[in-house]
Amino acid sequence: MGKKILKLLLAVFLLAGCSQGEAPMSYAERQDSAAKLDFRLAQQSNLLGLKLFSQLKDKSGGNLTISPYSIATALALAYNGSAGETAEELGRLLGYAPDERKQLNKSHQDLMRLMQDAGQGVDLKLANSVWGTAGIPLRKEYLATSKTYYGAEIRKVDLAAQRSVSEINGWVSKHTEHKITQMLDKPPGPQSVAVLVNALYFKGGWKEAFPVENTRQAEFRLSTDETVQVPMMSQKGYFPYSEHEEWQAIRIPYGDKQMDMLVILPSVHSSLEELEGQFEAGGFPAEEDFVEKQGTIGLPRFKANFGTDLNEALQALGVKLAFDPDKGDFSKLADTSDPIFISNIIHKTYIDVNEKGTEASASTLVGMEMGAAPTPDPPFQMTVNRPFLFVIEDRQTGVWLFIGAVENPLSK
């Protein structure tokens, strides 16, 4: 028989709008719960995102958006099936050694519970599933871990049959409000052991929507000698704001300020490339640098799609054995005579930012063949009219749902 393949499929979807359903936690209740979380999980997830962002930026060819939480969750599901040196490599990447996997899993469980009660004005839902195939039973301990800590649905389908494509794509579509409809275009194959899927759905709006009547066509500078006209949204108010001679930064809140979009704009004397270098180094902007300040923010409406295979980027970060057909060790997933290895990891994202809020999605497929008082300072003016960075973050848990670079708001 040929080498066995494990596939992980992960989808994330964020949608602007108003929260619906049962009354969510208050801000204070959620803050109290968030304080009890293992913040190491958020820190390691964010760090992974920064490292991958650095690896992928030169290859994006334009706008780049990735979901650190999406990728980290997918890899955590795979990590639970790994053993030996393969597990050691994945553990170094995720920041939890093999003997700390129970702590990693418990942290994911606690975080998922809190994120699914995201507070007033935000609706955030998570879903996981494990798809096994006939003839290759998955280990009971692995399935129990996936179900207990990740709430995974346990499904079975013939991964060599065309039906597996429609069933898995249908599951992803359902859990992403039909924004991600095609993650697989062909069956995983007869050597596939399992497909592991994570989906996240977010629905929320800006705490204060941008007045539609304020939106005007404005110049956005792509380079020193090229500009385009973009719909520039605008609003005045009090925002957490920070500035430096090389950048301006602002947090635009969603809901009751439990989540926000951090926008970082390089100065006219700097560049997106220089800004990315500082950002990837993790040195700015520090939390204490932000003060609640009155001013005007101009932000372009934009949409962006991005998709790539993460294999090369992850191998550059030290994960090598997991991709090796002869040395990959995922023996904690299933008992087979052949090595189980990662054949590919595909990540896809979509984002739409408008006056009401943000709509975005991300999907990762791992194939184996996550009010202060106003200041007396003068009002600030921040017009995002040149390439910029952004982060969509859960302020209370510390998790970055997305990080991105927008070079052209008109590119889709």
By the 10 Å C-beta count (0-12 exposed, 13-18 middle, 19+ buried), 229 is classed as exposed
pLDDT the model gives residue 368: 45
Query: Is the same domain home to 150 and 292?
Result: no
pLDDT the model gives residue 62: 77
Query: Is the same domain home to 26 and 165?
Result: yes
Residues of the chain scoring pLDDT < 70 = 1, 7-23, 60-61, 282-284, 358-376
For residues 173 and 161, give the distance between their C-alpha atoms in angstroms, rounded to a whole number.
19
148-163 CB burial, b ≥16 within 10 A, e <16:
ebbbbeebebbbbeee
Instruction: Answer whether residue 341 is part of any domain.
Output: yes
Query: Is the same domain home to 276 and 227?
Result: yes
Q: Give me the CATH number covering residue 105.
A: 3.30.497.10
pLDDT digits (tens, 9 = 90+) for 312-347: 999 999 999 999 988 999 999 998 888 898 877 777
Query: Is the same domain home to 44 and 85?
Result: yes
Instruction: Answer whether residue 411 is part of any domain.
Output: no
Neighbours of 260 (CB within 10 A): 21
Determine contact, residues 46/397, Cβ cutoff 8 Å: no
388-402 CB burial, b ≥16 within 10 A, e <16:
bbbbbbbbbbbbbbb
For 276, the domain range is 212-300+372-406
pLDDT the model gives residue 178: 80
> Rounded to two decimals, what is the model's pTM?
0.89
H or E segment and range at residue 140: helix 140-150
- With tokens 């553990």, the residue in question is 91
pLDDT the model gives residue 360: 52
For 64, how many CA atoms within 13 A lie in the half-sphere containing its CB?
22
pLDDT the model gives residue 22: 54
Query: Is the same domain home to 291 and 381?
Result: yes
> What is the distance, to the nearest Å, from the Cα of residue 279 to the centroid of all Cα atoms in its chain?
17
pLDDT the model gives residue 212: 94
For residues 80 and 253, give the distance between their C-alpha atoms in angstroms, rounded to a whole number.
35
Query: Is the same domain home to 229 and 103?
Result: no
pLDDT the model gives residue 369: 46
Q: Give me the CATH number covering residue 256.
A: 2.30.39.10
Query: Is the same domain home to 362 and 379?
Result: no
H or E segment and range at residue 324: none
Q: What is the DSSP letter of 20?
A: -
